[in-house]
Chain A
Amino acid sequence: MEAEPTTRPTLRKDLLSSELSASVGFLLAKAAELVTADFEHSLRPYGIRARDYGVMSLLYRHGALSQQQIGEAVQIDRTTMVSVIDELESAGLVERTRDPQDRRRYAVTLTDKGAKLFHGALAQVNDEVHDAFLARLTGVERESLIAMLTRLVVDDR
């Protein structure tokens, strides 16, 4: 599947001198913004947003989770979380069931339709977007990027 060219914001390096462009933090923010914009664009035909993908990915890996657990994991506030799950539920991709341990709570799971979509088309979109995004890096460079980012994310606490 060929993604349409996106109107992604590009980093005008020619406009920047030393310090801002040398700020890893700025580049990090920019890179995250770019890959998310590409991803959002490629997910659009499926009616899925990047954050929906994040939620589905979590449910795919962990099975049933409470809304609160999902919200904490993907850093989405409680109110937004409810509407994200509402939308996924009305699309038939997830379902809420009562938690047998605590009947006041709901557990959210992927439906068969949701699991199939995630594992099939969405996984492919994700691969394609990342392949294009990282096209300028060699395999070794990709590995090194991922290793360093993982340490940033994990080491920080």
Chain B
Amino acid sequence: MTERESAGTGWLLEVAATRRAQHLKEALRPYGVRPRWYGVLIALAEAGPLPQHQLGELLGIDRTTMVGLVDRLEEEGMAGRRRGVDDRRRYLIELTEKGRARARELLLIGSEVDAELLSGLTPDERAALEGLLARIAGQPA
């Protein structure tokens, strides 16, 4: 393969990701959930209580926006802030029972969106794509 061909990968990723974001947004709309909320709820459900800055890093959300998002989640009774055990100056964000239930619901919607997006690929190809993406998007080994 030539360098010029691999140089189109970013564009392909961008188009595929944009399409996925649009589908996700549409699928979440009836639930009154924005894609950002989706990311925050799922990340907290998966990774457990996290300091705000780690949550922001994980999702690529800046500090100010993150504070606003967590405030909203607290207002809605979906998450709470509690002091860290190791570092008492630091707050951990954790989901409430209501937040966890919501996250489970949304995870199903997300899986459906992904399944539809990937419907043109065989199961083997899906697994291969996932592996390749994890390697390029993951942390340096």
Q: Measured between alpha carbons, how far is A123 from B15 in the docked complex, in Å? A: 19
Q: Which residues of B contact A146 (CB under 8 A)?
A: 1, 5-6, 8-9, 12
Q: Is the CB of B12 within 8 A of A153?
A: yes
Q: Is A28 an interface residue (CB 8 A)?
A: yes
Judge whether A31 and B114 touch: CB under 8 Å. Answer: no
Provide a sorted-by-A list of 15 A–B residue pairs whose CB atoms are within 8 angstroms.
Answer: A9-B60, A13-B134, A15-B54, A25-B113, A32-B14, A35-B9, A123-B4, A126-B10, A130-B6, A130-B9, A133-B9, A133-B10, A133-B136, A142-B6, A145-B136
Q: Which residues of A contact B (CB under 8 A)?
A: 9-13, 15-36, 39, 54, 75, 123, 126-127, 129-131, 133-134, 136-137, 139, 141-146, 148-153, 155-156
A35 touches B4 (CB 8 A): no
Any chain A CB within 8 A of the CB of B67?
Answer: no
Chain A residues with Cβ below 8 Å from B6 are 130-131, 134, 142, 146
Q: On chain B, which size bracket covers the interface?
A: 35 or more
Q: Is the beta-carbon distance between B16 and A13 smaller than 8 angstroms? A: no
CB pair B1 A142 closer than 8 Å: yes
The answer to whether B138 and A13 touch across the interface, beta carbons within 8 angstroms, is yes
Q: Are A148 and B17 in contact (CB under 8 A)?
A: no
A20, A24, A131: the one contacting B43 at CB < 8 Å is A20
Docked-complex contact B9 and A152, CB < 8 angstroms: no
Q: Are the CB atoms of A31 and B43 closer together than 8 Å?
A: no
**In the complex, A131→B4 CA distance in Å?**
10
Stretch at the interface among B69-77, B80-88, B89-97, B125-133: B125-133
Alpha-carbon distance between A138 and B44 when the two chains are bound, in angstroms: 34
Cβ contact within 8 Å between A12 and B129? no
Q: A149, B9: Cβ atoms under 8 Å?
A: yes
Q: Which residue of B lies closest to A29 (CB)?
A: B17
